[in-house]
Amino acid sequence: MSAIEINNVNKVFNAGSGNQVVALTDINLSIASGEFVSLIGPSGCGKSTLLRLIANLLEPTGGDIVVNGKSPKQARLDQDYGMAFQQSGLFEWRTVAKNIELPLELKGWDKAKRHERAMEMLELVKLADFAGHYPWQLSGGMQQRVAIARALAVHPALLLMDEPFGALDEMTREHMQSELLGICRASGTTVVFVTHSIPEAVYLSNRVVVMSPRPGRVTEIVDVSIEGERSDATRDNSAFFKGITAVREALRGVEMSDHVRGIEDR
Amino acid sequence: MSSRASTLVRNVWPPAVFGVLFLALWEFVVKFFDLKPYFLAPPSKIWQKFTENFDLVWGAAKVSGTNALIGLLAGALFGMVMSLVLSRFRVLNDLITPLAIALNAIPIFVLVAVLNNMFAITSEVPRRIMVTLVVYFIVLVNVAKGLTQVSPTHVELMRSYAASDTQILRKVRIPNAVPYLFTALKIAAPASVITAFVSEYFGGSQNGLGSRIASNIANSKNAVAWAYVLGACLLGLVFYVISSVLEGVSTPGGRAKRSQEGR
């Protein structure tokens, strides 16, 4: 069963006015349950817009989207997905545990059950000792782990991530990537992951969706076939490098048509 | 805790020493140049008048302080309620916020003269209304900012949790506005005392600190006037300290602390 179906989706901002911007044209994408799919492309290619359409934070101008067999709006109301952004978006007036409890609070869970789940999530991201801390007492990487724990707190079938590791240093970032894979493997979560980094996309994904700007569209979908479980050793694997080369070439096609900013080739 | 205490001592003694030296210099200048009491009274004389007239100063401080406190509370309450209404109805916000800022820029003290005509000559109400108005605008502008200037990520997150506007208000906007409220109160508390004094210059009962200062100067009782000025300083200080302490107590997680440690 597919977790997400995107058919002929268009998105136009400020339609009809002088500063009309065509963000996405004719997007077709099907994401299977349990799959890890990255969206990659230069700034302005509409990858974050596409993620927000799936999340129902934006409405498409045309076409239709099905999330978990429902409309995106119903999926949002049912809290079928968890979301994480580049900014951890933690509430600084809430402790770490209370931050994770927030989505459960809004679902109407009682206090004991909420706390139990929050502690369970903190175990998962290895921050159980920090439940009573405030976000500003944590490092950037720890804050992002709390944000991921919060996104997973409702045990969603789907995780939507918008450059969640973009603000982290390289070492923390690689560590977080491995942790994210471990968590998703354990829970069978489907992930849609927006990134600027080619190695990050290849390391994490089953498929990498390469997008190009003006207007935003899908130019190529690269299958990443790496045998066995991914670990830090994967980063030295020839299949990993093959994947990187394939994505880079797909992006180069994009580059030739337009100057590209914001692709990290590391 | 002990390190905090030692920091406190380290922060306190330089201004304390400076203050004492300043008073000593003042005393010396008055004595050395034999300045006339109607020109400048020496600190020792002011202190003497202050202790002699303590009951009178205290009584006057109670009158001005009560006016300031009532105005502060009423203004803060109206300001908070109005900012909640404005954040809820953006159209009203666009109408009223520029007006509030414009009104805040003009010397609205003069209103007290108009208000004095509307109430009995001995009424304290015009002064309290004056303080309320001044505090109201300070609180309104700041709290409205806190309610509206929330992180876009926070709002997107809340929408992804299917939160209603009311839930976003309760869980994001109001907590976000709390530090703004205390910033406003920290500005408004001394302003309320100043407004209460100045309002007394526009007539009404001659019972507050402001009117005592004015009448003593008019009677060339310079040192006594200074004693009332001292009372006024102390009253303003009390208001400021209370609002600072409240800020420390009621911001969970010590957001004030965080901004200090960040530096």
Q: What is the C-alpha to C-alpha distance for residues B131 and B1, in angstroms, rounded to an integer?
A: 38
CA dist A77 and A56 (Å) reads 10
Please check whether residue A114 lies inside any domain of the structure.
yes
**Domain count of chain A?**
1
Full domain range(s) for residue A134: 90-155
Q: Do B253 and A92 touch (CB under 8 A)?
A: yes
Residue A39 has a pLDDT of 92
**pLDDT digit string (tens) for A51-71?**
999 999 888 888 899 888 888
> How does pLDDT run along chain B (263 residues), one tens digit per residue?
566 677 777 878 888 889 899 999 998 998 888 888 778 888 888 888 888 888 888 888 888 889 999 999 999 999 999 988 888 887 777 777 777 777 767 676 777 777 877 887 778 888 888 899 889 988 988 998 889 888 888 999 998 888 888 889 889 999 999 888 988 888 888 889 888 888 888 777 778 888 888 888 777 788 888 888 888 889 988 988 888 887 777 665 545 444 433 33
Question: How many whole angstroms separate alpha carbon A84 and alpha carbon B153?
Answer: 9
Quote the minimal CA–CA distance from B157 to chain A in Å: 7
Question: Mean pLDDT lowest for which of A75-84, A221-230, B187-196?
Answer: A221-230
Helix segments in B89-220, DSSP class H: 90-105, 111-118, 125-148, 152-160, 165-168, 174-199, 209-218
pLDDT in tens, A155-206: 888 999 998 888 778 888 888 888 888 888 888 889 999 998 888 888 888 8
Q: Which of residues 219-248 of A touch B (CB under 8 A)?
A: none
In a domain, A20, yes or no: no
- A181 in Cβ contact with A10 (< 8 Å): no
Distance from CA of A262 to the nearest CA of B (A): 21
* B100 phi-psi bin (left φ>0, alpha ψ -120 to 50, beta other): alpha
Structure confidence by residue, pLDDT tens digits, A236-264: 787 778 888 888 888 887 655 444 444 55
In chain B, the domains with their CATH numbers are: 47-252 (1.10.3720.10)
Q: How many CA atoms lie within 13 A of A72 on its CB side?
A: 23
Does the residue A217 lie in any domain?
no
Residue A252 covered by a domain: no
Q: What is the pLDDT of residue A259?
A: 47
- Average pLDDT on A125-140 reads 86
pTM of the model: 0.77
Q: Is residue A164 part of a domain?
A: no
- State the ipTM, two decimals: 0.80
Nearest residue of chain A to residue B153 (CA atoms):
A89
Instruction: Closest CB to B252: pick one of A81, A83, A93.
Output: A93
User: Are A186 and A121 spatial neighbours (Cβ–Cβ below 8 Å)?
Assistant: no
Contact A89 B157 (CB under 8 A): yes
Q: Considering CB atoms only, which of A55, A81, A134 is closest to B253?
A: A134
